Amino acid sequence: MSVCYIDIIDKCNLRCSACPRGLRLLKNSTESMSIDLFKKVVEKAKAEGYDEIGIYNWTEPFLSKALPEYISVVKEFGLFCDVTSNLSLKPQEHFDTIEQSLVAGIDHLAVSVSGYGQAVYEVNHVGGNISWVKQNLERIAQLRRDGNISSARISLRFLKFDYNIEEESVLKEYANSLGLDFEVIDGMGHPNNPVTSYVSEEDSVILYNSEEDFLNKLKNFTPSRIYEKNREICFLIMDTVSIDCKGDVYLCCAYPNYSSLRIGAYLEIPKDDILLKRYTHPVCTSCPFPRRKATESDCKALVGALQSRLGNSNKLQDEYTQNIEPLPKSGAEVKFSKPKLPGYLSVSGLSIAESWGRWSNGDKVILKFGSKLPAKFSLTISAMAYGPNAGEPVIVKAGNQTKEYKFGADVTRSLTSDFFPSVPVDAIEILIPKPTPTPSPSRDTRRLGLGFSSLSLRAIP
């Protein structure tokens, strides 16, 4: 599921010691998102493929008396509606909103707790009242028994820290007795350990640093994505987006909504641009959050985002080709060790220039020239083979005509064939027999075949 997290207000009643809102690193304010803006945000989220709206991120959603209206909007758009709450709210003042919100169509309500008894509960949930949480839960369970909110999934979410492990079984029993689901998640940060003191980039957990820490991080950032192996990606960047009550997108739901992490106004930025801005954000490139294997659709989304910024790659290639210079009458002399190839040639399937030449990368190399090749020509290729390509037939195609070349390993060999295709051509294709990954495919994702040092093409009179 792809989730769009939206804070419709800008406050929380509690001061949880492991949460940036609780620490008031994000200050409470009276701001809220208008229902009109919310509708537009949900409409865009749906159009962009999000199938779930989470009406929370760094706030307590039930503090908005209008929450049921927002939930109705989500349901009108046919999306899954997720709400997470501390539920530490005086029932006399808040239960009506809770009930109306459930009736309006919350699909999943998770209630976060960190203890069964008040003493343990308030270590993390500072300012909270576990008795109110229980009263609200028991009234919700009654609504369920009465059949008023039968479709909602309700779960008691236990935030597990080292000091509250003992509470897990009693909370589980309590959830079972009310017919609620029970889930356990590892609490991040530690209530006894103020999170503002965690500043190291090396720590392998997400840290809710102060905004100054982030600004320092930006000064020292590294673009090398040191925590991300090749073929890995963060699921938060691909599958989620976080929006505050002003309608602004922020880096991701793992970090506080600091101004340095603001991406821009959600309604004004296309999804592709949001993805690129987040992916290239200095905090994201240096972030230690665990990654997952990248999927084909991740790859398509990122490549697609670049394409929509730069234009369609095939079209660009055509434009580029149109601009390349015509082939000189004397023919072509190409040294592949040169960083800049001649203006009459565009290539695909070759790696960057090295002191001796260039490796092929992938199944084929295409050499496209700025004008038609002579009707008859000789083609000399100087190359060496990589690994299992040694001695294998290399098919070289010019239109309908193919010739075979064979290269040895480690030593460059120059081979010549004559071509006289039935119709004039402007390109030569070289099919690599056995494209082979390098010894460290996690760092170098190329598949090598031939090492080209030079090429010579001459008209045959």
Ligand X SMILES: C[S@@+](CC[C@H](N)C(=O)[O-])C[C@H]1O[C@@H](n2cnc3c(N)ncnc32)[C@H](O)[C@@H]1O
List interacting residues with ligand SF4 (CB under 6 A). 12, 14, 16, 19, 21-22, 58-60, 86, 234, 236-237, 251-252, 254, 283-284, 287, 289
Q: What are the φ and ψ backbone dihedral angles of 403, each rounded to 5 degrees?
A: -135, 155
- Element containing residue 360 per DSSP (H, E): strand 358-361
Closer to ligand X by CB, 19 or 33: give it.
19
Smallest separation (angstroms) from ligand X to the CB of 114: 8
Smallest separation (angstroms) from ligand X to the CB of 42: 19
Tally of CB atoms within 10 A around 276 = 18
CA-angle at 73, arms to 68 and 76, nearest 5°: 125
> Residues 6 or more apart from 272 whose CB is under 8 A from it?
304, 305, 308, 309
The one of ligand SF4, ligand X, none whose footprint includes residue 256, by CB under 5 to 8 A per kind, is none
Residues 137-176, one symbol each (x = binds ligand X by CB under 6 A, - = not), give --------------------x-x-----------------
Tally of CB atoms within 10 A around 456 = 15
Q: How many residues bind ligand X (CB under 6 A)?
A: 18
Our finding on whether 128 is near ligand X (CB under 6 A) is no
The token duo for 304 is 């697609």
Smallest separation (angstroms) from ligand SF4 to the CB of 254: 4
* CA–CA distance, 351 with 55 (Å, rounded to integer): 47
Block residue for tokens 């015509």:
326
Our finding on whether 32 is near ligand X (CB under 6 A) is no
Our finding on whether 101 is near ligand X (CB under 6 A) is no
Q: Which residues of 348-366 are buried (b: 16+ CB within 10 A; e: fewer)?
A: ebbbeeeeebbbbbeeebe
DSSP β-ladder status, 181-186 and 153-160: parallel
Block residue for tokens 């004397």:
330
Instruction: Pick the closest to residue 368 from 312, 323, 421 (CA basis).
Output: 323
Q: What are the φ and ψ backbone dihedral angles of 457, each rounded to 5 degrees?
A: -125, 125
Our finding on whether 189 is near ligand X (CB under 6 A) is yes
Tally of CB atoms within 10 A around 56 = 21
Pick from 3, 11, 79, 85 the residue near ligand X by CB under 6 A.
85
Give the N- to C-terminal CA distance of the chain in Å, as an integer: 65
Smallest separation (angstroms) from ligand X to the CB of 358: 49
What Rg, from alpha-carbon coordinates, does the chain have?
A: 31
The one of ligand SF4, ligand X, none whose footprint includes residue 157, by CB under 5 to 8 A per kind, is ligand X
* CA–CA distance, 145 with 244 (Å, rounded to integer): 35
Our finding on whether 56 is near ligand X (CB under 6 A) is yes
* CA–CA distance, 356 with 336 (Å, rounded to integer): 8
CA-angle at 14, arms to 8 and 17, nearest 5°: 115
Our finding on whether 19 is near ligand X (CB under 6 A) is yes
Binding segment for ligand X among 10-18, 134-142, 240-248, 323-331 (CB under 6 A)? Answer: 10-18
Smallest separation (angstroms) from ligand SF4 to the CB of 233: 8
The one of ligand X, ligand SF4, none whose footprint includes residue 252, by CB under 5 to 8 A per kind, is ligand SF4
CA-angle at 409, arms to 408 and 411, nearest 5°: 80
Closer to ligand SF4 by CB, 226 or 409: give it.
226
Our finding on whether 188 is near ligand X (CB under 6 A) is yes
The one of ligand SF4, ligand X, none whose footprint includes residue 398, by CB under 5 to 8 A per kind, is none
Smallest separation (angstroms) from ligand X to the CB of 103: 21
Residues 65-84, one symbol each (x = binds ligand X by CB under 6 A, - = not), give -------------------x
- Element containing residue 364 per DSSP (H, E): strand 364-369
* CA–CA distance, 99 with 68 (Å, rounded to integer): 9
What residues between 288 and 327 interact with ligand X by CB under 6 A?
Answer: none
Smallest separation (angstroms) from ligand X to the CB of 257: 11
Pick from 4, 18, 37, 275 the residue near ligand X by CB under 6 A.
18
Our finding on whether 112 is near ligand X (CB under 6 A) is yes
Smallest separation (angstroms) from ligand X to the CB of 68: 17
Smallest separation (angstroms) from ligand X to the CB of 191: 8
Binding residues vs ligand X (CB under 6 A): 12, 16, 18-19, 56, 58, 60, 84-86, 110, 112, 157, 159, 185, 187-189
